[in-house]
Amino acid sequence: MNVSIINIGDELLIGQVVNSNAASMSRMLIAAGMEVTDVIVVADKADAIRESLDRALTDNDAVLITGGLGPTKDDVTKKVLCDYFHSKLVENEEALANVKRIFEARGYELTPINRQQALVPKCCTMINNVKGTAPCMWFEVKRGRRKPRKVVVSMPGVPYEMENLMVTEVVPRLKDHFQTGHIINKNILVQGIGESFLSDLIEEWELGLPECIRLAYLPTAGMVKLRLTARGDNRETLEDHIIREVKKLYLLAGQYIVGEDLETLPEAVSQIFRMNAKTLATAESCTGGTIASRITALPGASKYYRGGVVAYSNEVKEQALGVNHETLEQHGAVSEETVREMALGVRERMGADFGVATSGIAGPSGGSEEKPVGTVWIAIAGPDGVTTRLKHFGDDRLRTIERTCNEVFAMLIHELKEHLGKHKV
Amino acid sequence: MNVSIINIGDELLIGQVVNSNAASMSRMLIAAGMEVTDVIVVADKADAIRESLDRALTDNDAVLITGGLGPTKDDVTKKVLCDYFHSKLVENEEALANVKRIFEARGYELTPINRQQALVPKCCTMINNVKGTAPCMWFEVKRGRRKPRKVVVSMPGVPYEMENLMVTEVVPRLKDHFQTGHIINKNILVQGIGESFLSDLIEEWELGLPECIRLAYLPTAGMVKLRLTARGDNRETLEDHIIREVKKLYLLAGQYIVGEDLETLPEAVSQIFRMNAKTLATAESCTGGTIASRITALPGASKYYRGGVVAYSNEVKEQALGVNHETLEQHGAVSEETVREMALGVRERMGADFGVATSGIAGPSGGSEEKPVGTVWIAIAGPDGVTTRLKHFGDDRLRTIERTCNEVFAMLIHELKEHLGKHKV
């Protein structure tokens, strides 16, 4: 089943907003066993919308459209769709009740222009958008016998409104309409081994996978995600297959597996720390709070994260982390000695099982011959002592911060596993 | 001059990577006075690439392509372009020297498969990609008399390689080729007034703008960016016009203007703090390091940012910030009293002119009837005392963090301006 995505909005075309909707829609559609053939971004212009819809409908079973549904004069999607399907706009009771509810909750008065949000083409199925005022619209297009009708869905462009509609309404309805069968996805996060080495290591297992299971390598920040996708008519059989194959995978590559059904390294850190009831504190210089920010972006962070210090100046390193003045004088802020004292300091002061510290030269200035821009020291202090690591990440500030964070998360998982291994014996 | 963007890559279509390239390319093209008509994302498949190129070339003066240039079998762009332009692949000396240089620097041996990176269609102009091994290719297509030839440019999909090529080579060459004339952009960041109120306030000024200047409203996180674009043949005249109109704008809306030629609120904070030699420290609970992370993402942060504490647990609030145990017992962590002590504590301990603190319930759990999820307290301690603010940001964790950050940045600008105003008198 092929799907085309059309994202409408001048703000996307001028680069004011990055098109994250396409990525999150794709992920949901693919998890449901559908294929995304292309993504088209067009302006809020009737001609452009009509033309891209025409073309997308030719080659695909479904077209999902976002954006252009606001009440302002710039938003033309609804009118275009109404004309395209030779229909007329009528007020929808349920949609109107929803708009009224939202305006009441916000304490605003319902203006005539906002009441227009409740108008939808007569020929469509209105799907209520409980998170916002623009209704979702589902259109069907006849085609040859025995094939399900093609589907066009129009959703608002606000990410959390679109996501809620996709999860609760659109994806389930598409699965039902196109009778896509059962699909089970299993993600295994692998870290500490390059993609090609991993591929060699698990080659035989991959070749022996049952026909109903497909494997995808998804290399991403600092790790590889292996995605097993099982398709078939019997859910239980698929689940059995998946369980069996994942077991075999653990026997081959268990030492590199850091988590299941996770998307990112911080999620893996969260899982392993919480499962083992260990706590963490951070002392950041060059990463400037980004490690803390990634950790606390996930719900439940307070279960294992005690807190951190962003020690941007040397005085803060001394005062808030207890780094020795002499250490800073002798070795400088970007040194193994300093980062070691930072990690030990934050671990002790915040009463955590593990303390992690970063100090480096993110750039663009501040580099020297001895310590060029991109030089980063990392330390992890844990119950068994301190581990340090020196990295050189090049001259791009944001990439250096990003790569330092990934290195830290990978090291944390490794250190905690080492510690657990030692104390199991 | 119309441009179409084609981004090639399976990783984009499955949503593994968000298409940030399209946005950054659009911004650069628009700043150079070109118009982006659409963005198309297609798979690494010859048919799909050919078809989208065909269509994009029909309606546009230039087509910019990214991705699909790696040495692996999945990457087919180069072959497709070679066929499309009825050419053949030849080894390019300069490209080969570049590939060799990069492999030497990394200490890798040059394999035959990597040597293939130096092959380019004979008919194209090779543009050297100093940041990576895949060369950039510039093709020209004849069309009717007196019109410049259409242009197709193929670039690698790695963001920083593409960005470097766009800035140093592709955009200047496009401007030259299409003789786009002079263009000057001026961005004015406005904060603390809604878009519609701003529009009323400056309506007359907007109507009186000279013909060579166009105004765009770009509402974004927590603020509105006004972009003035002047086009014409004489650069000096354009500059004079812009200076004159900006002056008039300050007379009308000066109190809301927080910066010029900036993209974001953190940039405005950085500018105003550095210009006035004031320092800042942060104490974050619910924002968990995100304020610090946004500040330190910008070069030069160490010039004004002293550091911060991520006080996720109550013990850290007491120990690292000096919040009274009784305050936490009596009022709770999410309270005006606590956040006030956090701001004062971090300001004093880190020796900063301003200390900012956040404490709230980001969710999804932890809410109560009295303090529902989304409740956030913010405090700013400065030379003239403490300002606090209570906000309710709803039930989405990441949105609450995001909106709290924007509120904090806006408040910081406001507080610093107030302070400067008082002490000027």
pLDDT in tens, B316-348: 999 999 999 999 999 999 999 999 999 999 999
First to last CA, chain B: 51
Do residues A257 and B264 touch, judged by C-beta distance below 8 A? no
Would you state the pLDDT for residue B74? 67
- Interchain CB distance below 8 Å, B312 and A291: no
Q: Which residue of A has its CA nearest to B25?
A: A15
- Indicate the pLDDT class of residue B69, thresholds 50, 70 and 90: confident
My answer on whether omega of the bond before A71 falls inside 30° of 0, hence cis, is: no
pLDDT in tens, A19-55: 999 999 999 999 898 999 999 999 999 999 999 999 9
Would you state the pLDDT for residue A74? 67
As a residue count, chain A comes to 425
Segment A277-296 mean pLDDT = 97
Backbone angles phi, psi at B33, to 5 degrees: 85, 15
Q: Which residue has the higher pLDDT, B199 or B244?
A: B244
| B53 touching chain A per CB within 8 A | no
My answer on whether omega of the bond before B364 falls inside 30° of 0, hence cis, is: yes
Q: 341-380 in B: which are within 8 Å (CB) of A?
A: 349-351, 362-366
Backbone angles phi, psi at B8, to 5 degrees: -105, 135
Do residues B84 and B50 touch, judged by C-beta distance below 8 A? yes
**E strand or H helix at A181, and its extent?**
none
Q: Is the pLDDT of residue B225 over 70?
A: yes
Q: What is the pTM of this model?
A: 0.84
Segment A353-373 mean pLDDT = 94
CATH topology of domain A265-424: Maf protein (3.90.950)
pLDDT in tens, B89-127: 999 999 999 999 988 887 888 888 888 899 999 999 999
Residue A339 token pair: 């980062």
**Chain A residues within 8 A of B309 when measuring between CB atoms:** 307-310, 320
| A299 touching chain B per CB within 8 A | yes
**Chain A residues within 8 A of B17 when measuring between CB atoms:** 23, 220
- Interchain CB distance below 8 Å, A293 and B297: no
Q: Which residue of B has its CA nearest to A347?
A: B316
- Interchain CB distance below 8 Å, A25 and B15: yes
Q: What percent of chain B has pLDDT over 90?
A: 74
Instruction: Report the distance separating Cα A166 and Cα A29, nearest Å.
Output: 9
Would you state the pLDDT for residue A111? 84
| Selection from A206, A185, A194, A187 nearest residue A410 by Cα | A194
The alpha carbon of residue B316 is apart from the nearest alpha carbon of chain A, in Å, by 6
The alpha carbon of residue B126 is apart from the nearest alpha carbon of chain A, in Å, by 25
| B32 touching chain A per CB within 8 A | no
The secondary structure of residue A303, as a DSSP letter, is G
**Chain B residues within 8 A of A363 when measuring between CB atoms:** 299
- CATH number for domain A2-178, candidates 3.40.50.720, 3.10.180.10, 3.60.40.10, 3.40.980.10: 3.40.980.10
Q: Is the pLDDT of residue A248 over 80?
A: yes
pLDDT in tens, B402-423: 999 999 999 999 999 999 988 8
Would you state the pLDDT for residue B258? 87
- Interchain CB distance below 8 Å, B41 and A37: no
Do residues B308 and B408 touch, judged by C-beta distance below 8 A? no
- Indicate the pLDDT class of residue B385, thresholds 50, 70 and 90: very high
Segment B350-376 mean pLDDT = 94
Alpha helices by DSSP H, B261-381: 265-275, 290-296, 314-321, 325-331, 336-349
Inter-chain contacts counted by CB atoms under 8 A, chains A and B = 246
**Chain B residues within 8 A of A131 when measuring between CB atoms:** none
Give me the residue from A24, A308, A319 closest to B289, CB to CB: A308
- Interchain CB distance below 8 Å, A365 and B299: yes
Mutate to test the interface with B, among A14, A37, A405 (most CBs of B within 10 A): A14
- Indicate the pLDDT class of residue B73, thresholds 50, 70 and 90: low
- Pairing state between β A89-91 and A119-121: antiparallel
Q: Residue B405, Cα to own-chain centre: how many angstroms? A: 16
Q: What share of chain B is helix, strand, coil (3-state, %, to 5)?
A: 45, 25, 30
Instruction: Report the distance separating Cα B340 and Cα A230, nearest Å.
Output: 54
| B113 touching chain A per CB within 8 A | no
Q: Which residue has the higher pLDDT, A202 or A105?
A: A202
Distances (CA, A) of B205 to B41, B241, B378: 40, 13, 36
Would you state the pLDDT for residue A395? 83
Give me the residue from B22, B295, B307 closest to A316, CB to CB: B307
What is the overall mean pLDDT for chain A?
93
What letter represents residue A362's amino acid?
A
Q: Is the pLDDT of residue A296 over 90?
A: yes
Q: Which residue has the higher pLDDT, A153 or B235?
A: A153
pLDDT in tens, A111-141: 888 888 999 999 999 999 999 999 999 999 9
Q: What percent of chain A has pLDDT over 90?
A: 74
Would you state the pLDDT for residue B425? 57
B265-424 shares the fold of B2-178: no
Q: Which residue of A has its CA nearest to B6?
A: A40
Mutate to test the interface with A, among B7, B14, B215, B334 (most CBs of A within 10 A): B14
Instruction: Report the distance separating Cα B134 and Cα B154, nearest Å.
Output: 10
Q: 319-338 in B: which are within 8 Å (CB) of A?
A: 319-320
The alpha carbon of residue A295 is apart from the nearest alpha carbon of chain B, in Å, by 8
Q: 207-236 in A: which are within 8 Å (CB) of B?
A: 218, 220
Instruction: Report the distance separating Cα B151 and Cα B162, nearest Å.
Output: 17
**Chain B residues within 8 A of A217 when measuring between CB atoms:** none
- Interchain CB distance below 8 Å, B302 and A296: no
- Indicate the pLDDT class of residue B16, thresholds 50, 70 and 90: confident
Q: What percent of chain B has pLDDT over 70?
A: 99
Would you state the pLDDT for residue A5? 98
Domain boundaries, chain B: 2-178, 182-260, 265-424
Q: Is the pLDDT of residue B219 over 80?
A: no
Do residues A96 and A115 touch, judged by C-beta distance below 8 A? yes
Segment A257-268 mean pLDDT = 89
- CATH number of this structure's domain A182-260: 3.30.70.2860
According to DSSP, the residues that pair with B119 across neighbouring strands are B91
Which range has the worst mean pLDDT, A63-67, A203-207, B85-89, B181-185? B181-185
Which range has the worst mean pLDDT, A196-210, A296-310, B52-66, B351-365? A196-210
Do residues B40 and B6 touch, judged by C-beta distance below 8 A? yes
Give me the residue from A28, A291, A307 closest to B312, CB to CB: A307
Q: What percent of chain A has pLDDT over 70?
A: 99
Q: What share of chain A is helix, strand, coil (3-state, %, to 5)?
A: 45, 25, 30
Q: How many C-beta atoms lie closer than 10 Å to residue A8's C-beta?
A: 27
Q: Is the pLDDT of residue A423 over 90?
A: no
Mutate to test the interface with B, among A5, A29, A39, A160 (most CBs of B within 10 A): A39
Segment B250-257 mean pLDDT = 92
Q: Which residue of B has its CA nearest to A313?
A: B306
Cβ neighbours for B422, distance < 8 A, ≥ 6 positions apart: B384
The alpha carbon of residue B4 is apart from the nearest alpha carbon of chain A, in Å, by 10
Would you state the pLDDT for residue A358? 98
